[in-house]
Each structure stands twice: as structure tokens, then as C-alpha cells.
Structure 1
Amino acid sequence: MEKLFETALFTRSSMLNILEKKPYKELVKIPENFRNSIFWNIAHLLVTQQLLCYRLSGLDIRIEEDMVKKYGKGSIATEDVEVSDIAYVKDHLISDMKQTQKDYQKGLFKEFTPYMTSTGIELKSIEDAIGFSTYHDGIHLGIVLSLMKIV
């Protein structure tokens, strides 16, 4: 499990670096033939990890519900992004993953509601959720890197 957390933190550090270096207009730009932006992809992985790990374990998520509405599965990306949302994601991207790692090590995740992902992968345990979340982060890093070539 430690390697999964190490990989997730590496991916998120890469995303944080992008958030810190790219100007606002590039972060929120939705290029033609795309459905979302660099920022939406990064915010989306933050939300998804919280839902998969905490909510499916019957625990409170560590992010604001408003973020789930704006950046969760099925949300619609917009170029009208509040600067405070970007700051929020910057603040939580690494710290929430580190907290998940601590909570896992403490044995906080005792229950888990099985979940079928949209990619057809069934999650049956917190370990499955952490593994899938890390995989999901990598997919969205790839999308972000593609978007960076266009904006």
C-alpha cells in the first residue's frame, strides 16, 4: 500500500506544480473538442478520491460538498472558475492524500460499500479504492498533460 500512496503523492505533486505555474486563463480554458479544463481534471481527482475512500467507507469526506457538486462525476466544466476554488484545491491536493494515508495506517477504514466504477472495475475494499484512485489520478494527469499542449 505504501507504494500506492507514494505514487499518488508523486502524481498530485505534479498536478500541484501545474496549478502553481499555469496562469488562470490556461487552467480554466476548455479547448474545442474537449469537455473540461486542466483545473477541472485536477479538482475532479481530489473529489473522486474523497468519495471513493471516505464516503464508501461510511466516513465524512474531508472536502466541502460544494466541491463535489462542481467537480464530481457528472459535473459540467465551466471556464468561469472561482479563484478561491483553485486555492482550495492547491491547499487540499497533497494534504488530503497524506491524511488518507495516515487514516489508513490507523485502521480508520473499517467498513466499505462495494462500488462498480464507470470503467467496469468493482471496488470491494478500501485497498481497491486506494488503488483505483491512484490509477484514476494517473489517467487525469495524462489528460492534463494533453490539455497543456493545446492551451
Structure 2
Amino acid sequence: MESLFRAWKTSRMAYLKFFENYSLEQLNRIPDGFSNNLIWNIGHIIATQHKLIYIGSELEGHIPDQIFNSYQSGTRPSAAVSQQEADLLKRLLLEQIEPTIRDFNNKKFVTYQERTTGTGFHLTSIYDAFEWNNFHEGLHLGYMMSIRKFISLD
């Protein structure tokens, strides 16, 4: 599990760089041909981690319901994200990590609701959920790398 957690931390640091390299306006911009933006992808990986790990284990997570509801699968950006919400997403990128690892180490993940993801990966355990979460975050990082090509640096 240590390598999965290291990969997850590395992924989150890559996402954090978008806050450092792009303005709020750029994070919110939806380029032609795309259905979302950089900031939505960041919120989405936060919401998906919550769903995969905590909801899948029938546990309370560490994110506000409003964030989950705004960024879960099936949502799209409906309005520009405020600076306040962007700051919250930036915090959550890192703040999800340690409590989740602590919950895992404290054996809080006792049960897991098996399910098949939208892309056909069957999750049978919390271990599958952590592996799939890392894969999912990698997918969305790739989407963001495509989006950023269409967002000019000011």
C-alpha cells in the first residue's frame, strides 16, 4: 500500500501545480471542443476519491457535501468557480491524503460495496478502490494536459 499512497501523493502534487501556474480565469476557461475545465477536473478527482474510498466503504469522508455534489461523475461546470471555492479545492487536494491514510492504517475500511466503474473496472475491495483511484487521477491529469494547450498563459 505504501507505493499506492506515494503515487497518490505524487499525483496530488501534480494537480497542485495547476493552481501555481494558472490564474482563476484560466482554471475556469472551457476551451472549444471540451465539456469541462481545469478546475472541474480538480474538483472531480477529489469527489471521486471520496466516492471510491469512503462511500464505497460506507464511511463518512473528509470533504463537504457541496464539493461532492458539484464535482461527482455526471456533473459539468455550471458557473465559474469563485476564488473561495478554488482555495477550498486547493486545500482539499492535500488535506484528503493524511486522514485517508490514517483511516486505512487504523483499519476503518472494513467492508466494501462491490461495483463496476463506468469504464468497466470491477472493484471488489478497498485495495481495488485505491488502485482505481490512482488510475482515475492519471486519466484526468491527461485531460488537463490537453486542456492546458488551449489556455494561453497571461
Asked if TM exceeds 0.5, the reply is yes
Q: How many Å apart are 1:79 and its aligned residue?
A: 4.6
1:5 paired with 2:5, answer yes
Matched-pair contact (CA < 8 Å) for 1:30–1:79 = no
1:128 paired with 2:128, answer yes
Q: How many Å apart are 1:94 and its aligned residue?
A: 1.4
Q: Residue in 1 aligned with 2:48?
A: 48
Q: Which amino acid counterpart does residue 63 of structure 2 have in structure 1? A: I
Deviation string 1:111-147 (CA, Å, 9 cap, x unpaired) is: 1111110000010100000000010001111111111
What is the TM-score of this pair, normalised by structure 1?
0.96
User: In 2, distance between residues paired with 1:118 and 1:128?
Assistant: 15
What is the TM-score of this pair, normalised by structure 2?
0.94
Deviation string 1:44-65 (CA, Å, 9 cap, x unpaired) is: 0001001110111010121111
Q: How many Å apart are 1:78 and its aligned residue?
A: 3.3
User: In 2, distance between residues paired with 1:139 and 1:19?
Assistant: 19
**Which range is displaced more, 73-82 or 38-47?**
73-82
- Note the residue ranges of structure 2 that are not aligned, 5 or more in a row: none
The number of equivalent residue pairs is 151
Q: Which amino acid counterpart does residue 57 of structure 2 have in structure 1? A: S
User: In 2, distance between residues paired with 1:98 and 1:132?
Assistant: 19
**What RMSD in Å do the two structures reach over aligned CA positions?**
1.0
| SS, match of residue 150 in structure 1 | coil
1:66 paired with 2:66, answer yes
Q: How many Å apart are 1:32 and its aligned residue?
A: 0.6
Q: Residue in 1 aligned with 2:141?
A: 141
Q: Residue in 1 aligned with 2:107?
A: 107
Deviation string 1:38-92 (CA, Å, 9 cap, x unpaired) is: 0100110001001110111010121111111211100121352122211111111
Moved over 6 A (4+): none
